[in-house]
Each structure stands twice: as structure tokens, then as C-alpha cells.
Amino acid sequence: MASFIQLLVSGLATGAIYALIAIGFTLLWQTSQTINFAQGEFVMLPAFFVLAAMNVGAPYWLAALIGIALSVVVLGVLFKAVIVDPMMRHGVLPLVITTIALSLFLKESVKDFYSSQAQPFPAPVAPRDLHFLGAVVSLQSVVVLAVAVLTVVALHLLLNKTRLGRCMQATAQNPTVARILGIPVGRMVLYTFLINGALVAIASLLISPIYLAKFTNGEALGMAAFIAAIIGGFNQVRGAILGGLILGVLDNLSAAYLSSQYRGAFPLVILIAVILFRPQGLLGRVEERAV
């Protein structure tokens, strides 16, 4: 039992990070039909912004702020202006190729201009372990979970309780109608890119102390976020959260009780099952196809 709780708690902590990454992924899809295959690299990169800032003498809190700011600018504004905007009207696939190339570009740049070696990354909290029903949880995991939940709640409030949020939702659901209603669609789309830039930076700050900063980190993270987004529902923020948590827990349970060699397979099988039998995702809404 203790071990089951251990698996559950650790899985939730890891899953919360997947969820953070997955949310941005779904946001971009909803507002701009961008399937961002560089999302994992987007999480890898801010850690290096922070490390670079600390190397020139910035204290952790300042470096973290610089990291988030740079991430919002580079991965939010620049990404949208330079890559997504010119390509949006050409459909999904050319943009998919571009984000795949972008992921290679980011990985190689970090490797060549920073280091190929994994780097230790400062933790926002002291390394302490908490005991809980026979399971051990690091304080860090609890903080990760808390920050993730807070971020998601804040995002939920923004999207549902503010005028701005409702405009963004309208843009996501039907850009044409939104435009007729006088919503500045372009700006709303930009906001989702900014939010994604901030989310990946937060995810980076949270996961790098555990995961260590390395140029290849994005590969596994991006895949996990991708699976989480689809299981939960590709067009719903809430779904991405559920998907992330499910994935984190499922990963642990299947590795512990089923097969460690095939641990990567279970989430994929579930993903296929979800798409075939509930293509809108566990919490997603039904999409109608334009004929």
C-alpha cells in the first residue's frame, strides 16, 4: 500500500509538470492550429536562459525572472511573428515541419553555444523530504504540484472569469465569428503565445532541478506533453491537466506492476484507444468537421 501511495504521489508530481507543458500545447493548437513539435525544446531552453543569467552574476530570483521574460519574448513573440504568422494560412503540415526543424535548431544551438553536458540547476526550495502515509515525497515535488495547480487555476480564472479570457476563448472557438463580434483576433492569438512562453518557462524552472538542464531534455518532455494533451482532450485546458496527471501516474504504475520494458507503450495504447473511441479526449468537446 505504501508503495502504491508512493507511486501515486510521485506520479502526480511528474504529471503536474507534463500538464503545464501540455496546456500551452493545447492553447497554441486552439488559437492558431499550431502543432508545436518543439514544445519540449521550449521547456529545455529557459533553463539555459536562467543559467546564462546566473553565470554573469544574477541572483537566482532575478535570473528566473529574466528567464521567464526572455522565454515570453523569444518563444512567445518571436516564435509567433517569425514562424507561425507567415505560415498559418498554409495549413498545418508545413508548420509541423518547421517546428520539427526548430526543435533541432534549439537543441543544437544550446549544445554548441552552451554545453553538451548536463548542468545542475538550482532548486527554488531546500532539498527536504516529507513523509506521508508511508510514502516519501520531496518538498520540491510538493512545490511543483502546488505551482502547477496554482498556475492552472489562475489560467482557468483568466479564461473564464475575465472579458479578456472570454475573448480568447471566442477566438479559439471560431475566429471568424469572433472577428465579426469585434474581438481583436490577432492580439488574442498573440496572448496565447505569450502565455505559452510563460508556462514553458515556469515548467522549466520547476523540472530542471530534478531533471537537470541538458540540451536533449526536450525529446522526452515534448513527447510526454503531447501524449498528455491528447489523452485529456486536445481542445480543452482542463483536459490537458487531467491528461498530464493520468500520464504521470500511469507511467509509474505500469512500470512497477506491468512491464518496465514496455512502460512507454501503455500511455500510447491508451492514446490510441482515446482517439478511436473518444476522439475529443477525456474532457474535450466534440469538434465538428467543416465539409
Site residues (CB under 8 A) for another protein, limited to 71-110? 82-83, 86-87, 90-98, 100-102, 104-105, 107-109
Query: Of these, 117, 157, 161, 187, which contacts another protein (CB under 8 A)?
Result: 117
Interstrand relation of 129-132 and 135-138 (parallel, antiparallel or unpaired): antiparallel
Query: Of these, 73, 112, 149, 153, which contacts another protein (CB under 8 A)?
Result: 112
Q: Which residues contact 259 (CB under 8 A, 6 or more apart)?
A: none
Per-residue contact flags (x/-) with another protein for residues 144 to 173, judged by CB under 8 A: ----------------------------xx
What is the C-alpha to C-alpha distance for residues 224 and 204, in angstroms, rounded to an integer?
14
176 binds another protein, rule: CB under 8 A = yes
Of 26, 17, 10, 12, nearest to 231 by C-alpha is: 26
Total residues at interface with another protein (CB under 8 A): 90
What is the C-alpha to C-alpha distance for residues 64 and 52, in angstroms, rounded to an integer?
11
Smallest distance from another protein to CB 129, Å = 6
Contact range with another protein by CB under 8 A, out of 58-66, 69-77, 184-192, 221-229:
221-229
Q: Of residues 187-216, which lie at the interface with another protein (CB under 8 A)?
A: 207, 210-212, 214-216
Q: Which residues contact 110 (CB under 8 A, 6 or more apart)?
A: 44, 45, 48, 215
62 binds another protein, rule: CB under 8 A = no
116 binds another protein, rule: CB under 8 A = yes
Of 36, 64, 34, nearest to 50 by C-alpha is: 64
What is the C-alpha to C-alpha distance for residues 285 and 172, in angstroms, rounded to an integer?
13
Query: Of these, 129, 195, 203, 283, which contacts another protein (CB under 8 A)?
Result: 129
